[in-house]
Chain A
Amino acid sequence: MTECRCFGAVAHYKPPSTDSNPTLEDPTPDYMNLLGMIFSMCGLMLKLKWCAWIAVYCSFISFANSRSSEDTKQMMSSFMLSISAVVMSYLQNPQPMSPPW
């Protein structure tokens, strides 16, 4: 078999820019991040425990779907915010959460 490798014609890898194809990007981590922040704000302001718990879930989902190039600071801050929402709701009102039914 003839040698088909060509060591001279090696092209460097160019990561595809996201500006050219915004549709190919998965929007899930960004949406979940935003949802998480909104729910944790609701949980803190309105003292709703279930909001705070949903915020924790949202930030976990956002973390699971995140790209490796994404900033970990953003992830950590949303996570901390949701944990603080849960803790504050329980400090203010230690009663257990009542189910909606």
Chain B
Amino acid sequence: FALLLDFKATFFLGRYNDDFDDGEDLAEFDDNDFAEFEDVNEDPTVEVESEPPPKPAPSSIPVEDDEDEATVEIEDGQDEFEDADAQVSDMYSKYDKDEFEGYEKTNSPFKDTLIYQDVPAHLQNSWESYYMEILMVTGLLAYIMNYIIGKNKNSRLAQAWFNSHRELLESNFALVGDDGTSKEATSTGKLNQENEHIYNLWCSGRVCCEGMLIQLKFLKRQDLLNVLARMMRPTCDQVQIKVTLNDEDMDTFVFAVGSRKAMSRLQKEMQDLSEFCGDKPKSGAKYSLPDSLSILSEMAEVSDGVMDSKMVHYITNHADKIESIHFSDQFSGPKVMQEEGQPLKLPETKKTLLFTFNVPGMGNTSPKDMDSLVPLMNMVIYSIDKVKKLRLNREGKLKADRNRARVEENFLKQTHAQRQEAAQTRREEKKRAEKERIMNEEDPERQRRLEEAAQRREQKKLEKKQMKMKQIKVKAM
């Protein structure tokens, strides 16, 4: 039995001997040369108790260092190499907490200096850390949803408006719906979509007018930002109708009626209203209009002429839907701000009737509300016919002509200096161009001839000027 044990010890020792490559182990080796012949201690508990002293030292050494471990074991005695199990249990028993009496204490300073690093968020593999991104994407999806819903609502409203007005328009106009792309003016019979919130309709082919452009200016329901802004400040959809007239269809006058706010705004913004209707907007009580409306007019006769009983009836019944009604023979749009001072030419004017109506519902309109705008369209048609028949009397006409002459004179005076400058620059440009032409002329013969011609022209001009001065002097005398 002892021989067997010895054999086993030799076997294990042999294994360990192969691992021992360090020189430092040699000394211990010498001491234990005869260790292999010692009896192996069968009692594992004894060896356990003898282990505590050297244990703290090897415990701080990494576990993989079998050589050191083995060295220590050899020093203690070969009783540990009984069998593999004992060896294994020995290794594990090393970590038995009963053994390490002072271990926790020595370990605590290490704990304080241990820094627990956070695992970076992108390595955490959890979707929760990306909550900002999810918020952003949700916002985008909400925007897209709102775009689709708003677009559809606007489209439905436009279609409802057109369906309720189609009959009236088709009975009054030869051409209903033209987008301006085709060469011939053929009726398309449908609205022209300019935007997701603006729809146009051009009607033409009627007596008393050149054409009528209807613009359905809806709210920007397709833009979420706009929807949110509208929650703070509600506005409503608008229908804008612009009737352009031929010269013979309208007499010369400027007139506007509408809500007080609209009137004061238009008076400041519109070129013709600011020039011809200088007085502040007057109340329409004279014609028994509601208080919410006011009138801007060139002269009293015009107001009397326009505000006949039927017109008053229309306006009073639909006062909440009327934003502004503007009749003008000098219509040129809003005042244009130009950087180089006043524009050099009077703006082009066109005889126009402008109507702006508010769609009821204050933003929360439904397609049914469009029917309530049909009477307003009737009013528009009535106005077209009426304006054709409305003629100022002699006095009124004189006044109107005087007004227009006055406005033109004012304009010319204001721009006189600028026009002079412009004329001067134009003359200089011409001279310079001619000089250049002469210089560029290769043939010296022709050059001389051109120069002479230019000189003669200059001479003539001087003579003319002198003649004029003489004439003026004679006249003065």
> Is B223's CB under 8 angstroms from A65's CB?
yes
Q: Is the CB of B132 within 8 A of A97?
A: yes
Chain B contributes a number of interface residues (CB within 8 A of A) equal to 45
B132 to A56, Cβ gap below 8 A? no
Chain A binding site: helix, strand, loop or mixed by DSSP?
Answer: loop
Q: Which chain B residues lie closer than 8 Å to A5 at the CB level?
A: 171-174, 205-207
Q: Does B444 have its Cβ within 8 Å of any Cβ on chain A?
A: no
Q: Mark A46-72, 1 if CB is under 8 A from B, else 0.
A: 000000010011001100111111000
CA distance A27 to B207 in the complex (A): 38
Q: B333 to A21, Cβ gap below 8 A?
A: yes
With contacts A10-B204, A96-B130 taken as known, whether A64 is within 8 angstroms of B196 at the C-beta atoms is yes
Within B222-252, which residues are at the interface with A (CB < 8 Å)? 222-225
Question: Which B residues are in CB contact (< 8 Å) with A4?
Answer: 172, 206-208, 385
Within 8 A of B (CB), among A1-33: 4-7, 9-15, 20-21, 23-24
CA distance A65 to B196 in the complex (A): 7
Please, which residues of chain A bring their CB within 8 A of the CB of B121?
Answer: 95-96
A7 and B180: CB pair below 8 A? Answer: no
* Closest beta carbon of chain B to A70's beta carbon, Å: 10
The segment from B95-103, B139-147, B451-459, B469-477 that touches chain A is: B139-147
The 8 A CB mask of B110-154 against A (1 = contact, 0 = none) is 000000000011100000011111001001100110010000000
Contacts of A24 in B (CB 8 A): 334
The reply on B342 being an interface residue by CB < 8 A is no
Complex partner residue of B205 from A10, A21, A95, CB under 8 angstroms: A10
**CA gap between A12 and B121 in the complex, in Å:** 65
Chain A residues near B222 (CB-CB < 8 A): 64
Whether the Cβ atoms of A64 and B204 lie closer than 8 Å is no
Q: Contacting A15 at CB < 8 Å: which of B129, B180, B333?
A: B180
Q: Which residues of B contact A68 (CB under 8 A)?
A: 193-195
B39 within 8 A of A: no
Q: Is B220 an interface residue (CB 8 A)?
A: yes
Q: What residues of chain A lie closer than 8 Å to B144, measured between beta carbons?
A: 60
B68 within 8 A of A: no
Q: Which of B174-189 contact A (CB under 8 A)?
A: 174-175, 178-180, 185
Chain A contacts for B178, CB-based, 8 A? 12-13
Give the CA-CA distance A69 to B196 in the complex, in Å.
12
Check A99 against B223 for contact (C-beta < 8 Å). Answer: no
* A13 with B179, Cβ < 8 A, contacts A5-B172, A5-B173 known: yes
A5–B384 Cα distance when bound, in Å, is 13
The answer to the question of B211 belonging to the interface, with a C-beta cut-off of 8 Å to chain A, is yes
| Sample of 17 more A-B contacts, CB < 8 Å, known A11-B185, A14-B180, A95-B121 | A4-B206, A4-B385, A5-B173, A6-B206, A10-B175, A10-B185, A10-B204, A12-B180, A13-B180, A13-B211, A20-B333, A23-B336, A61-B225, A64-B196, A64-B220, A66-B195, A97-B132
Query: Taking beta carbons and an 8 Å cutoff, which residues of A are in contact with B?
Result: 4-7, 9-15, 20-21, 23-24, 53, 56-57, 60-61, 64-69, 94-99
**20 A–B contacts, CB within 8 A, in A order:** A5-B174, A9-B205, A10-B185, A10-B204, A11-B204, A13-B211, A24-B334, A56-B140, A57-B143, A61-B223, A64-B196, A66-B195, A67-B195, A95-B120, A96-B121, A96-B122, A96-B131, A97-B133, A97-B136, A99-B132
6 A-B pairs with least C-beta separation: A13-B202, A13-B178, A13-B180, A10-B205, A97-B132, A96-B130
